[in-house]
Structure 1
Amino acid sequence: MRWSIGFGLLASALALATPVLAQDARMTATAAPAEPSAIPLNTGGVKGQAASEAWFRQYGVAMTRNVTSATLTPFLPDPAKATGAAVIVAPGGGFLMLSMENEGWRVAKALADRGIAAFVLKYRLKPTPADMGGFEQSVTAMFAGAAQPQRRMSPDEAIAGLSDQIADARAAVALVRARATEWKVDPTRVGMIGFSAGAMTTMATALAAPDTHLAFIAPIYGSMEAVKVPADAPPLFAVLAANDPLFANKGFGLIESWQKAGKPVEFHLYQAGGHGFGLGKKGTTSTGWFEDFMHWLDANGMLVRQ
């Protein structure tokens, strides 16, 4: 799938987006963290995947790869703060890895602190070599490939190669709604937010699985390619940094598509932040996107306390 060739650029973009020491760019294998709250989604495995799920640290944050069994981890708000809104959180990583800490757990905790039930989706990934050396070589190869000029896939085009991820997202939404009473969630206010490849997963779910009836979607530093908008498309909140090395300076077809379809859309283009900034890169206006998102959810009636 051509979408994944941007992984090399993604890695360099993360380095630009995160002020860490040079040695933090190295991939260091770690033991899998305890995930006592992770709920298996039972959506199947990954064709051709022989290696086991593996965890590592890079740029100071926890990441995983070779995910073959999707899970959903709840981060529930204090009942006194609960608004009834829920968000499926899809981390990014070029479909070869997942930035679980930077774009998953931290985001989910921030949402829960604001009274929103958040659920981190660990979705299935493309196979990578079992050994870290082989994985690093595959990343190096993608650096070389990403340097070659070529057109990126739009979400419409990428859907055919994202059947696993769409199935995982669909199962996540169904699980949240099935346990809505237990988790104090309004089943009509379940949305999805995704970062980079997670933004692509979010968009693909909204486009290819409209029967999920997402209440809203929020692609954060994702593709801006134009798409065919479903008749019942949800409100869209999009974020991008003007210096994003992957998606800036490529037009705003996605936003224009939502506008032309007459669907609610809000777009924030921040002056700086690069790619992979999670909750925001310190010292840039990208740190404001989360508060803007909260205001947008509130203005759209998503944060009405029960």
Structure 2
Amino acid sequence: MLFLMIAGITAYFNAAAQEREIIHLWKDVPGETGPKKPHELSDDTSRDVTRISRVSDPVLHVYRPAPGKNRGAGIIVCPGGGYSILAIDLEGHEVAAWLADLGFTAFVLEYRVPKKPLNALQDFQRAVRVVRSRAEEWGIQSGKVGAIGFSAGGDLVARGSSFHEKKLYPPQDKADSLTAKPSFSLLIYPAYLDKGENRSITPDLEIGSDYPPVFLFATADDSHGNSTLVMAGALRDAKVPAEQHLYTEGGHGYGLRPGNPAADAWPGLAAKWLSQLGL
């Protein structure tokens, strides 16, 4: 059954590839001094993964649900890659196609790499605001714009959920008057959240009662699995609604491709959680 689902997603991705809207987030990209350029691809295609090695002009790829399936909610998809690359198909386009099949309007975020975590956070804030500003155009509610992130993308979503009130760039237009806080956040095998003393929660993460509801998924055999554990504890202490799943095995970086026990499990759990939020 999962194989058929993935096959359907792949067909959707391929059929819509020529029709997808691409949104350039910035007129003037903060922190960039050179001209805007298309993204650069890495020569590394191991594990059949397409990797983007450089982004200087951040964009959103829009995946719309089929007519009649629109749930009225948007989800920004943040691929991982250690802030060095973006695993753009594995943790980006394939996930967005799956979300669109569920009825969500999905937006794959090409944030800046390599090694530009602050710029990536600027891109995330801007992406949330741009999607909110154009929500009516996509048939979604401005109060139902969330995010999902994988590995470093999970760290980015976690930081974006923390620092949504920080002014990280000069306003560019009316969209920047809107909140950058995601309405909900899904962190799938997130990394780098346990950089505190004795592998505790990263000190600069600000997790208070206004943090959005969070879904967390990881595995015990993931070297980054502790990030999920400490994040869940911090959310519990702040009384933030959160659901955590820690599976026995699956490793790291599996996306939703079939054949991995964790990849087989998390999409159904996440879909159920989203439904329970009323989305």
Q: What's the TM-score once normalised by structure 2's chain length?
A: 0.78
What does residue 80 of structure 1 align with?
68
CA contact under 8 A between 1:46 and 1:126: conserved in structure 2?
A: no
Work out which structure has the larger RCO, using CA pairs closer than 8 Å and 6 or more positions apart in sequence: 1
- 1:205-239 Cα shifts (integer Å, max 9, x gaps): 11111442311011111135224313311001011
What does residue 39 of structure 2 align with?
53
Query: Separation in 2 of the partners of 1:251 and 1:262?
Result: 16
- CA gap of 1:95–1:49, structure 2 versus 1, over 3 A, is farther
What is the identity percentage for the equivalent residue pairs of Structure 1 and Structure 2? 32
Unaligned stretches of 5+ residues in structure 2: 1-16, 166-178, 195-200
What letter matches 2:151 in structure 1? Answer: S
Residue from 22, 28, 33 that aligns with 1:38:
22
Q: CA deviation at 1:36?
A: 6.0
What does residue 190 of structure 1 align with?
145
Query: Separation in 2 of the partners of 1:174 and 1:79?
Result: 25
- 1:250-300 Cα shifts (integer Å, max 9, x gaps): 782110110011110001111111110101551414411011011001111
What does residue 237 of structure 2 align with?
260
Q: Which moved more, 1:163-172 or 1:80-89?
A: 163-172
Query: Separation in 2 of the partners of 1:88 and 1:251?
Result: 20
- CA gap of 1:251–1:59, structure 2 versus 1, over 3 A, is closer
Query: Separation in 1 of the partners of 2:257 and 2:244?
Result: 16
Residue from 210, 233, 239 that aligns with 1:232:
210
Query: Separation in 2 of the partners of 1:114 and 1:204?
Result: 26
Q: Does 2:38 match 1:70?
A: no
Residue from 117, 127, 132 that aligns with 1:172:
127
Q: CA deviation at 1:47?
A: 5.0
- 1:99-122 Cα shifts (integer Å, max 9, x gaps): 010000000000000001100000
| Aligned-CA RMSD value | 2.4
Query: Separation in 1 of the partners of 2:20 and 2:40?
Result: 17
- CA gap of 1:178–1:48, structure 2 versus 1, over 3 A, is closer
SS in 1 for 2:50: strand
- 1:65-98 Cα shifts (integer Å, max 9, x gaps): 1111100010000120010011000001111110
Residue from 236, 246, 271 that aligns with 1:294:
271
Provide the aligned length of Structure 1 versus Structure 2. 236
Unaligned stretches of 5+ residues in structure 1: 1-32, 128-160
Query: Separation in 1 of the partners of 2:227 and 2:106?
Result: 31
Query: Separation in 1 of the partners of 2:32 and 2:66?
Result: 40
What does residue 185 of structure 2 align with?
217
Q: Does 2:156 match 1:201?
A: yes
CA contact under 8 A between 2:75 and 2:145: conserved in structure 1?
A: yes
CA contact under 8 A between 1:241 and 1:274: conserved in structure 2?
A: yes
Query: Separation in 2 of the partners of 1:213 and 1:189?
Result: 11
What letter matches 1:55 in structure 2? Answer: L
- 1:158-178 Cα shifts (integer Å, max 9, x gaps): xxx732111111111111112
Q: Which moved more, 1:103-112 or 1:199-208?
A: 199-208
What does residue 30 of structure 1 align with?
none
Q: CA deviation at 1:39?
A: 1.1
- CA gap of 1:249–1:115, structure 2 versus 1, over 3 A, is closer
**Residue pairs, 1:239-278, within 5 angstroms:** 239-245=217-223, 247-248=224-225, 252-278=229-255
